[in-house]
Amino acid sequence: MHKNIVAEAGLIAHGRGEAFDYLLGERTPNFAIRQETLAVILLLEAKKPVISVNGNVAVLCPKELVALSKELGAPLEINLFYRTKERELAIKKVLDDAGADQVLGIDPDMQETIPELSHLRRIVDSRGIAQSDCVFVPLEDGDRSMALRNLGKNIVTVDLNPLSRTSLTATVSITNNITRSITEMIEIAKELKNSSPDQIKMLRGTLENKKLLREALEFIVFRLKKLASEESALEI
Amino acid sequence: MHKNIVAEAGLIAHGRGEAFDYLLGERTPNFAIRQETLAVILLLEAKKPVISVNGNVAVLCPKELVALSKELGAPLEINLFYRTKERELAIKKVLDDAGADQVLGIDPDMQETIPELSHLRRIVDSRGIAQSDCVFVPLEDGDRSMALRNLGKNIVTVDLNPLSRTSLTATVSITNNITRSITEMIEIAKELKNSSPDQIKMLRGTLENKKLLREALEFIVFRLKKLASEESALEI
């Protein structure tokens, strides 16, 4: 926040995420690996995958973002809810320092808008999200992810609340901590590149967003009961 | 935060609370009314009740704090995890503007320390928490509430996580949004003042912290299942 990368409201959003990660046990559950696998399949299959980056994501895992971008051949595009020139440049610097090849989203000559959205979060890059068929928008607000979905794009997201509008409307939502997710997605991408098209097709047939979100919810309920019995003799 | 009342870390803590309040449905459940009732009984029975105030609490419900303070005859005492002179004065101003009669905790001549604690959060007022037999410490960190409990004081808290150390070690923890809680506690105090000692004794016998926290957990599990079935057809 002091470096003008994260917005003030981003701190509150981060706290909401911390609470849900606490419910997960601050570890990646099995269902999340399956969500990440479906996410990577969609991104690898896409003609023009793009990774959308906001302030929170840039602060939490810049190196992982750059590595995933290279692994998927998907450019990074800065997209901000609270967009200022200063924040754009601060985030670009974080990504450049982490080794990014190309950072889209901040060249005024290349900006288009999504008509459905208000405010500056409607801006997209004509070389990036505007023409992308599959956008990875981690930690995204519901309106924006829905607007992108309504444009017919596949939407991949990371959102620790499995019942958020973003989670429910995405093509696939990953219910996990962003830093763990992206690290795991890089490994999954490497593995999938060594799999046959038939193997990937079969795997994909077993994975579906709502079903995986239901598993996430079941896991949170299980964890609450476990915490209740283990840590405090509050068995329920 | 801009007025120097809330610390930066307070924004993240607020976000964690928002996530748990979402799980409650942003309304006061029945068990919380019972927690608040036990809390008010303990504070009314105390010889020297004190209400501890930090930055988040001061920003969220200053008028309610002052009204509860008057209803219970319990002075307000400023207690900060990140204590600076500037923040002390900013919070005192908020409480004064809300009509507080007396604000303890910031007169250097009246400060004592709790040996068990490190940092400036160890400071207590010799006229207030130091000699209090029942301290209301809403939104408190686990170390501090445990240290006060270890001094033999009754501890009443508000904490939206029913499994936090604060919740589990308090004499009674209220699993509810602070603003709703304090508003309701003022009404409960008025009602209890019109009840007979026998009525209060009987009521108190039915109320116990761990039992009430177990109800809170059961309610959160119920809510997750309800959200899953109603809002998204993710029935679990």
Lowest-confidence pick of A213-227, B2-16, B112-126 = B112-126
| Contact in structure between B43 and B52 (CB atoms under 8 Å) | no
pLDDT at position A232 over 80: no
pLDDT at position B152 over 80: yes
Domain ranges within chain B, ordered by starting residue: 8-222
8 Å CB contact of A8 and B1: yes
Cβ neighbours of A17 in B, within 8 Å: 15, 19
pLDDT value of position A235: 62
8 Å CB contact of A221 and B218: no
DSSP B1: -
A3 touching chain B per CB within 8 A: no
pLDDT at position A121 over 90: no
DSSP string covering B177-196: -HHHHHHHHHHHHHHHHTS-
8 Å CB contact of A1 and B16: no
pLDDT value of position A122: 85
| Contact in structure between A105 and A21 (CB atoms under 8 Å) | no
Count how many pairs of residues, chain A against chain B, have C-beta atoms within 8 Å. Answer: 105
8 Å CB contact of B16 and A15: yes
A220 touching chain B per CB within 8 A: yes
pLDDT value of position A203: 94
pLDDT band at B66 (very low <50, low <70, confident <90, very high): very high
Residue of chain B minimizing CA distance to A229: B214
pLDDT at position A179 over 70: yes
For residue A8, the distance in angstroms to the closest alpha carbon of chain B comes to: 8
Residue of chain B minimizing CA distance to A168: B232
pLDDT value of position B231: 59
Average pLDDT over residues B183-207: 96
Q: What is the ipTM of this complex?
A: 0.88
Closest CA to A59 of A138, A171, A174: A138
For residue A14, the distance in angstroms to the closest alpha carbon of chain B comes to: 6
CATH 3.40.50.12640 fits A8-222, yes or no: yes
Angle between helices A8-24 and A209-230 (to 10 degrees): 70
* A141: three-class secondary structure by DSSP: coil
Report the percentage of chain A scoring pLDDT > 70: 98
DSSP string covering B6-36: S-HHHHHHHHHHHHHHHHHTSS--HHHHHHH
Task: Mutate one of A1, A11, A210, A229 to test the B interface: name it (highest B CB count within 10 A).
Answer: A11
pLDDT value of position A159: 97
Average pLDDT over residues A178-182: 98
8 Å CB contact of A20 and B19: yes
pLDDT value of position A191: 97
Distance (Å, whole) CA B127 – CA B114: 14
Instruction: Name, in order, each residue with C-beta under 8 angstroms of A85's C-beta and a sequence gap of 6 or more.
Output: none
Angle between helices A30-45 and A178-193 (to 10 degrees): 60
Residue of chain A minimizing CA distance to B19: A16
